Chain A
């Protein structure tokens, strides 16, 4: 973006409620990752230091489960909000996966490799954002289910054989790693390191983005807002 004199116009991209959910998600996921990986890699020196810092295995577990309750409560709240609120329904509609996202992805790849001439035009959420959203949501769902089974171990033991619990544990751990990797590589890239937003897309704090950025990265959304007279 050149430094020409123009008055940047900002439009809302994340409402207050979503920013709050996002903030809670950051905190709970970080706590869960720190306490969870400390246990998963307990033979590692750093992990051992973390467990000690967390007050031993007993308190590590308690902290982990408290954070898990926050995360799961959020998941449930989010599901209801997306399904039944006016804003949620609109957002769900925007983020819903369609055949078009796959086509967009292929088109983007072709363009990047100079095999096509048009870069896809994205709506409010392009395939990158949708991949992030659905990946994290299914991940959190899976890790919640396995987590609850492990938490309610006394109850689970009545119905589930030991090897199923072993499986649950290993899925829980690797699922955590998967979510972590997706967040680290994907999220870091699309909202921090991507040249259009570097060092950071401020929307998670201010809720707003530059209309110019929207026009470049999400032209369909830009046009839609123009059409609605918001811009």
Chain B
């Protein structure tokens, strides 16, 4: 601050002080404060050469949610002339928000004195705070992602606190939710706080977190309620509610930040990727054993005409979901299941109109064992032995025939030449 300005500043403060004294105990009005703080160049300099702007944009303030209040509401110690003001405590008026924040991962770290963790102002702003419903507000649905990404796309912060890296954040931008929000401006698109919460954000591995495994279906169901209803009735949904940790929740099949449309070849539930997505659990020996699930689901499917055709890019063939369903999957033992004995003709009939009740006899894509597929097992063993034996006999015969030929070549009967 140059001496002239410093002088002016002091004079102005003194003048303001005089004015305040004249208007008795009500304290300084916004106008009073703006006498100094309305100057766009007002700043404080620190010994290390850094400066801090002390400017308050009157227009922004007047339009903010607190625009009708006074400066004293937040800065009770702001009596001219004043030095450094005490910290603003939003919790005085917003106790619930403060309580939630103090329990959140941001709040807990903040309480330890870490400075680059977001406090109220980092997300909500300071003098320009607007309601979340206000399209100009920082926490408005279509703006809040950028507010979160200010830190969560900052490499330094990510590394310092071991946060999910930029790829995860970038994946959100390209996800079906991110695109709906950013490109189409849809208010219904899920943005960060919809899943993670706002003041009460906790890492997903904590049971109280909104994004903890056991809370995921309910969380997604906030918007996708019809699907949640279907999922709750499914074997996976029931398993999840029964506390079975391995039972899949939405994110296991769809991904999290990277959720894309099912028509996107990158999607985990794109037709070609479905068998591998299901196999993540159904091909897992431990899971299959623990819950007595049928084994070799993947290999028996991939060996079928459907599997081979899918592998080579024919997307019209049946994948797991075509027969088993997806959100409402039920075990074949359940009469309501699309793969129960009684429903199989109908399910197969979706693509093969001639597949009748007769067709549904026997098992579909099972391990070739005597219990499940006796016929195929026997034929396979028979042919293997038969062909193997035949080859051995051929070789033996060829060997013996050659011996015989040598013998025929020997001069004995005179019937042959040489």
Which residues of A are interface residues toward B (Cβ below 8 A)?
A: 1-2, 39, 42-43, 51, 56-58, 108-109, 111-114, 119, 153-155, 157-164, 166-167, 170-171, 174-175, 177-178, 181-182, 185-186, 189, 193-196, 216
A193 to B401, CA, bound (A): 12
A163 to B314, CA, bound (A): 24
Interchain CB contact under 8 A, A111 and B395: no
Interchain CB contact under 8 A, B312 and A51: yes
Interchain CB contact under 8 A, A186 and B407: no
Secondary structure call for the A interface: helix
A194 to B405, CA, bound (A): 10
The 8 Å CB contact of A182, one of B353, B373, B390, B401, is B390
Interchain CB contact under 8 A, A42 and B383: no
A1 to B373, CA, bound (A): 56
Chain A residues near B387 (CB, 8 Å)? 174, 177-178, 181
Given A161-B359, A166-B373, 5 more A-B residue pairs with CB atoms under 8 Å apart are A56-B314, A58-B309, A112-B407, A185-B391, A195-B402
Q: Is B394 an interface residue (CB 8 A)?
A: yes
B353-388 contacts to A (CB < 8 Å):
353-356, 358-364, 373, 375-376, 379-380, 383-384, 386-387
A154 to B352, CA, bound (A): 7
A56 to B394, CA, bound (A): 36
Chain B residues near A160 (CB, 8 Å)? 358-359
Interchain CB contact under 8 A, B400 and A113: yes
Q: Is B154 an interface residue (CB 8 A)?
A: no
Chain B residues near A170 (CB, 8 Å)? 376, 379-380, 383
1/0 per residue, CB under 8 A from A, across B295-314: the answer is 00000001100001101111
Number of interface residues of B (CB under 8 A): 46
Chain A residues near B353 (CB, 8 Å)? 154
The 3 A-B residue pairs with the shortest CB-CB distance in the complex, in nearest-first order? A163-B362, A112-B404, A174-B383
**Shortest Cβ distance from B267 into chain A, in angstroms?**
23
Chain B residues near A113 (CB, 8 Å)? 400, 403
B389-418 contacts to A (CB < 8 Å):
390-391, 394-395, 398, 400-405, 407-408, 416-418
Chain B residue nearest in CB terms to A193: B398
Interchain CB contact under 8 A, B400 and A109: yes
Interchain CB contact under 8 A, A157 and B308: no
Interchain CB contact under 8 A, B417 and A112: no
A161 to B417, CA, bound (A): 63
**Shortest Cβ distance from A124 into chain B, in angstroms?**
19
The 8 Å CB contact of A57, one of B308, B376, B379, is B308
Chain A residue nearest in CB terms to B307: A42
**Shortest Cβ distance from B407 into chain A, in angstroms?**
7
The 8 Å CB contact of B383, one of A39, A163, A178, is A178
A161 to B363, CA, bound (A): 10
A189 to B402, CA, bound (A): 11
Q: Can you list 9 pairs linking A and B with CB atoms under 8 Å apart? A: A157-B359, A158-B359, A170-B379, A170-B380, A181-B387, A181-B391, A182-B390, A193-B398, A195-B402
**Shortest Cβ distance from A110 into chain B, in angstroms?**
10
**Shortest Cβ distance from B96 into chain A, in angstroms?**
60
The 8 Å CB contact of A166, one of B352, B376, B398, B407, is B376
A18 to B354, CA, bound (A): 42
**Shortest Cβ distance from A161 into chain B, in angstroms?**
4
Interchain CB contact under 8 A, A114 and B407: yes
Which residues of B are interface residues toward A (Cβ below 8 A)?
A: 302-303, 308-309, 311-314, 348, 352-356, 358-364, 373, 375-376, 379-380, 383-384, 386-387, 390-391, 394-395, 398, 400-405, 407-408, 416-418
**Shortest Cβ distance from A108 into chain B, in angstroms?**
7
Chain A residues near B418 (CB, 8 Å)? 2
Chain A residues near B358 (CB, 8 Å)? 158-161
Chain B residues near A157 (CB, 8 Å)? 348, 352, 354-356, 359
Given known contacts A119-B404, A160-B359, A178-B387, A42 and B376 CB-to-CB distance under 8 angstroms? no
Chain B residue nearest in CB terms to A189: B398
Chain B residues near A57 (CB, 8 Å)? 308-309, 312, 314
Interchain CB contact under 8 A, A181 and B390: yes
A125 to B376, CA, bound (A): 37
Chain B residues near A1 (CB, 8 Å)? 417
Interchain CB contact under 8 A, A162 and B361: yes
Interchain CB contact under 8 A, A58 and B356: no
The 8 Å CB contact of B380, one of A159, A174, A216, is A174
Chain A residue nearest in CB terms to B308: A42
A175 to B379, CA, bound (A): 10
**Shortest Cβ distance from A130 into chain B, in angstroms?**
14
Interchain CB contact under 8 A, A56 and B391: no
Chain B residues near A186 (CB, 8 Å)? 394
A182 to B389, CA, bound (A): 12
Chain A residue nearest in CB terms to B375: A167
Interchain CB contact under 8 A, A56 and B376: no
A196 to B417, CA, bound (A): 13
**Shortest Cβ distance from B338 into chain A, in angstroms?**
16
The 8 Å CB contact of A112, one of B348, B356, B384, B403, is B403
Given known contacts A154-B354, A186-B394, A195 and B376 CB-to-CB distance under 8 angstroms? no
A154 to B364, CA, bound (A): 17
Chain B residues near A154 (CB, 8 Å)? 352-354
Chain A residues near B356 (CB, 8 Å)? 157-158
Chain A residues near B352 (CB, 8 Å)? 153-154, 157
Interchain CB contact under 8 A, B312 and A195: no
Chain A residues near B379 (CB, 8 Å)? 167, 170-171, 174
Chain B residues near A171 (CB, 8 Å)? 379, 383
